[in-house]
Amino acid sequence: MGISRAQAVKALQMTATHTIGSLLRQRLGRTESVLMAGFAYILGQSTMLWIVRDLSAKLVALQLTFSAQSYQQLLAGLSSIERAQYEAHFGFDFVFPWFYGLFLCCWIARSLDASGASARWNGLLLVPWLASTCDCVENIAHLQMLDGAEAFWPLLGGVSAGIKWGLAALVVLALLVTEVKRGLR
């Protein structure tokens, strides 16, 4: 009358997930972890803003383009300085997403711990890493498009950028609401 093999495997997987998630929450949710990751994020964001200092809204337009024709038109509209900054940003933009992913993950861990959320919420720790991964996929697509590639690259780049921005915005908004609620108690 014992449990089936499938039930045992599922129970083991759930235990491992909860244990790993709880360990991550414990380590990443510490105030010093949040502060260090926040510092790394601010340093990374400052570096990125310096690299693309002349691009402003044009960078977001390039990121959220879904067609090769629109992308090429936007590229053609860049000055030589803007184009050089755009191309230069890719080297750092494969590293920077992991800075903001770590910061948001630490902030989520701190928020989950502070609110007393159960281990079933540990999956939220993965959301920033999904945004970071989408950022890197977007970069790969845009590098392909810089070389004139079409096919599915514009769609992949635009969808990845949209998911990245959407997830990041939702996470930050949810965390800010949580912080305000906690502050009002």
Q: What is the pLDDT of residues 158-167, one digit of tens each?
A: 999 999 999 9
For 35, the 3-state DSSP assignment is helix
Confidence of residue 1 (pLDDT cuts 50, 70, 90): low
- The reported pTM is 0.83
pLDDT of 33 higher than 90: yes
End-to-end CA, the chain: 49
Confidence of residue 13 (pLDDT cuts 50, 70, 90): low
- Average pLDDT on 3-26 reads 71
Which residues, 6+ apart, have CB-to-CB distance to 144 below 8 Å?
153
Give the chain's length: 185
Residue of 159, 40, 140 lying closest to 100 (CA atoms):
40
What angle separates helix 127-146 from helix 96-115, to the nearest 10 degrees? 160
Residue of 119, 97, 95, 122 lying closest to 108 (CA atoms):
122
Residue of 94, 85, 108 lying closest to 178 (CA atoms):
108
- Residue corresponding to tokens 């230069």: 88
**CA 97/CA 51 separation, integer angstroms:** 15
Paired tokens of 60: 């977001």
Q: How many other C-beta atoms lie within 10 A of the C-beta of residue 85?
A: 19
For 30, the 3-state DSSP assignment is coil
Cβ-count burial 129-158 (b if 16+ within 10 Å, e if not)? bebbbbbbbbbebbebbbeeeeeebbebbb
Q: How many other C-beta atoms lie within 10 A of the C-beta of residue 40?
A: 17
Of the two residues 6 and 152, the one the predictor is more confident about is 152
Any idea what the Cα angle at residue 182 is, between residues 165 and 41, rounded to 5°?
A: 40
According to the model, what pLDDT value does residue 11 have?
62
